[in-house]
Chain A
Amino acid sequence: MEQFNQLSEISSNERLRKLMVGYYMKAKFSWLTRKKIAWITSGGPVEPLISMGITPIYPENHGAMIGARKMGPELSDAAEDLGYSRDLCSYFRCDVGSAVLKKSPIDIRPKFLGGRAVFGGGLPKPDLLVCCNNICGTVLKWYEVQARFFNVPLIIVDTPYNYDGETTEIIEYVTAQFGEMITQIEKATGKRFSEKEFIRVGELSDEAVNLWNEVLSICENVPAPMTCFDAFMYLAPIVTLRGTQEVVDYYKQLKVELQSLADRKISPVPEEKFRLIWDNLPIWFKMRRLSKTLANYGAVLVADTYTNAWADNDISVEKPIESMARVYATAYLNRNTETKIKNMVNLMNRFKADGFLIHSNRSCKPYSFGQLDIKDEVSRRTGKPALMIEADMCDPRAYSDEQIATRIQAFIETLKERKATA
């Protein structure tokens, strides 16, 4: 796992690495432990799975790893050869490409087997697919494709977009589906659901989410002790393993370490001049370069809408299923554009930002359509400038370093002028 912060002081980074390697290792060897594998979307209801001893696997997290390792074009080509359009989400294309080619950053070669790639690269095969469309309609189609490819059951939790906010109709619908989902999981895996265990997992999940929120909030400090490039890395456990004790322990340690840096006013950027907010997914294949470019100008990404999407959770003990329905039905990307505008304005104020960077992401249409209006509106409400850059989270083929560098430079000039006249 790549690290982007220059802060060797964060010893929990090693813990993160171990956590993630261990997670994928265990998943790859699940046939030994007879654990069932469920592939699940990043915003999907993982707590029931964990409580039933099923290993959740996140193709989107895998997609991010593929992007960071710059394997996007090769795997995407394989999907395009099958007839999938290059205009589809690159996480999907990479996932299909990886399943077909059996290539991936996850390529476990155990020493005791002479370092051979015994099972081929890629994610362990699913016994079950769980798709929650609270992030996009893309995953619905994506999981249909994979359900046909692997010929395994597909469970869909349909969480209608909050056009008019959170309606009782939506909550009742999602609640009913959770009941149905549990029965379906029991049928597909032969595991039994226990409400007690579910509540225990739900509490751990809540705790992890709260800790994650606190970790992100530390960047309200000036200077910020980390940048979003770090947060994008620290995000992996909250996505993949929330609901487990290890994750809670990891974020506890991370929080302490970051807080200590903040107290001592240590920043990953030599001199913090501009504080910026990021919108949309990271550009995984350009993390290093972008973080350097920005650091050179003393610009720090102090918060973003993406990692904050996992900072909200509340599974209550009294009505566990219904409260879970509420959490998943109102996930960040499932909220309407006006709510997203308010959220961005709120982030700008909370983190004392000087401006914001908008990643118009060709892959992610629901996240990106609306950004042009969001950009104008957030600027109008906060009086801060914005820069929009067009890219893709995994596919570098339409990306130009020079062009982006020039645009960032011009944006920094704007910020400088504003500071000078302020």
Chain B
Amino acid sequence: MDRADFIKFVESVSRNPVEQINSYKRQERPVFGYTCSYVPEELIDAMGIIPVRMLGRAQTIQSAERHFQSYCCSQVRSLMEEFVDGVYASLDGLLFAHTCDTMQQFHDIYKKNFPKAFVKNINFPSRLDGEIPYNYALAETKRFLKSVEEFTGRPLSSDSLKESVTAYNKNRTLLEKLYGLHLKYPVDIPSRLLLQSVIMTQCVDKREANKWLEQFLSSFDEKTPEDSKRKRIMLVGSVNINEEVYDLADEFGAMIADDDLCTGRRYFSTQVSEPTIEGVTRRYLSRPHCAAKHRDVHSRERWLLELIEKRSIDGVIFLYLKFCDPHCFDYPDLRKAIEEKKVPTQLIEMEQSVAQSGQLRTKLQAFVEMIS
């Protein structure tokens, strides 16, 4: 495998995972879709089911109009569109996790419209602080697990959980390494490869994903770093599948150096320290959290400032989906806290998978100029 193969692979899977799902189905391996990164994937994987992340890619909304009003975020609207249109009909089930109001209602609406589908929700707490939420999260994880065990007809074995946790932790290490190498080789590892690689690993059996990543990353072992003074931009938001932002940053001589996205660092941060249900539960409670969750009133601010410092970030782009409430609530205070550290910010609101107008280009260009 050379680098080009890897790039081709991540590109095709991240843009359209349906072929990947179908190939698993041809091997008679069960596949579950999951809508949120709070679904404890290790447990699903350990039950022999391949979890595949659902990201709405529908370009236009028609079928979903009958279920979601126009003021619903495009992640959910375009996903519903694809479900109604049967894009993911070959999935064996769909998993939800509690996050925001919109996702919550999406679960109910999906269940109502697909009464025969296997649909489960892990009712993850909104509070992440202290032992009371932990005790609940653990009890809820066990309840959730039971329903998956009913599907497979056999209980979770501790050996396979160990194996899964190892594969997942390794995957996290590899993605971390990719992010690190990207800073040294911004040409050989273009920014968009961060996004595509994360989405790829969300859609592929972790062992396979790890193999690809390992080979790709080891090709940099002996390589001298590129000489780069590129300005470093960090993205903050919910989910994103837009590659253009990454490409434009590169094109204007900057780079997307890191992010706080669900299709980015939030997905792979924090290892599972102990290969048990307890250990897995702890990891999901302690990872950098999504805006829909609460640790304390300054936890997201602290985390972002820490990341900015660690990665020497020059500018932050809040990349939001329109109608994404949790992030819109956080924006003004986060902006203030970041700008107080003399790091400029820019807000970009978009609709998932809708092609961006020239505006995005103009905004990116102006922003890169500003931080240069």
Using a CB–CB cutoff of 8 Å, the interface residues on chain A facing chain B are 82-85, 87-89, 92, 133, 136-138, 140-142, 144-145, 147-148, 154, 156, 158, 160-161, 163-164, 167, 169-170, 172-173, 176-177, 180, 336-338, 360, 362, 365-366, 368-373, 377, 390
Contact = CB atoms under 8 A, between A and B. Distances in A.
Given A163-B121, A368-B69, A156 B127 contact: yes
B140 interface: yes
Given A154-B297, A369-B68, A83 B335 contact: yes
Interface in B64-86: 66-69, 71-72
Contacts of A372: 66-69
B105 A84 contact: no
B294 A370 contact: no
B322 interface: yes
B297 A147 contact: yes
Contacts of B368: none
A133 B292 CA distance: 12
A89 B326 CA distance: 11
B126 A137 contact: yes
8 contacts: A133-B126, A138-B101, A160-B126, A169-B143, A176-B136, A365-B71, A366-B104, A370-B105
A369 B106 contact: yes
Interface stretch (B108-116, B151-159, B190-198, B247-255): B108-116
A84 B330 CA distance: 9
A244 to B, nearest CB: 30
A84 B71 contact: no
A170 B126 CA distance: 12
A314 to B, nearest CB: 23
Contact of A137 (B72, B135, B325, B331): B325
A277 B354 CA distance: 38
Given A137-B126, A145-B333, A373-B67, A366 B121 contact: no
B70 to A, nearest CB: 8
Interface in B84-104: 96, 98-102, 104
A120 B139 CA distance: 48
A170 B123 contact: yes
B329 interface: yes
Given A173-B135, A337-B105, A337-B109, A83 B123 contact: no
| Majority-rule SS of B interface residues | helix
Contacts of B350: none
B329 A142 contact: yes
B58 to A, nearest CB: 17
Contact of A365 (B67, B102, B322): B102
Nearest to A157: B127
Contacts of B329: 84, 88, 92, 138, 141-142, 144-145
A133 B139 CA distance: 20
A310 to B, nearest CB: 20
Given A173-B133, A173-B135, 4 more contacts: A137-B326, A141-B329, A144-B294, A362-B69
Contacts of B344: none
Which 10 residue pairs are nearest across A and B when measured between Cβ atoms?
A: A83-B332, A141-B329, A369-B105, A337-B108, A173-B136, A366-B101, A85-B328, A158-B127, A169-B139, A160-B123
B132 to A, nearest CB: 5
Contacts of A163: 96, 98, 104, 107-108, 121, 123
A148 B298 contact: yes
Interface string B277-296: 00000000000000110100
Interface of B: 66-69, 71-72, 96, 98-102, 104-109, 112-113, 121, 123, 125-127, 132-133, 135-136, 139-140, 143, 291-292, 294, 297-298, 322-323, 325-326, 328-333, 335, 347
B297 A87 contact: no
Contacts of A82: 332
Nearest to A377: B112
Nearest to B300: A144
A148 B333 contact: yes
A83 B125 contact: no
A30 to B, nearest CB: 24
A138 B327 CA distance: 11
Contact of A176 (B121, B135, B294): B135
A84 B328 contact: yes
B136 A337 contact: no
A392 B113 CA distance: 27
Given A84-B328, A137-B100, A137-B325, A173 B125 contact: yes
Contacts of B139: 169, 172-173
A1 to B, nearest CB: 30
A45 to B, nearest CB: 15
B322 A158 contact: no
B344 to A, nearest CB: 15
A141 B325 contact: yes
A176 to B, nearest CB: 5
A87 B135 contact: no
B66 A336 contact: no
Contacts of B113: 373
A19 to B, nearest CB: 32
Given A83-B332, A176-B132, A180-B132, A161 B294 contact: no
A30 B107 CA distance: 44
A177 B132 CA distance: 7
A148 B102 contact: no
A137 B292 contact: yes
A138 B140 CA distance: 23
Nearest to B139: A169
B123 A161 contact: yes
Contacts of A140: 126, 292, 294
Contacts of B96: 163
Given A82-B332, A141-B329, A160 B98 contact: yes
A350 to B, nearest CB: 23
Nearest to B103: A137
Contacts of B135: 173, 176
Contacts of A136: 101
A386 B346 CA distance: 44
A92 B323 CA distance: 15
Contacts of B66: 372
Contacts of A160: 98, 123, 125-126, 136, 140
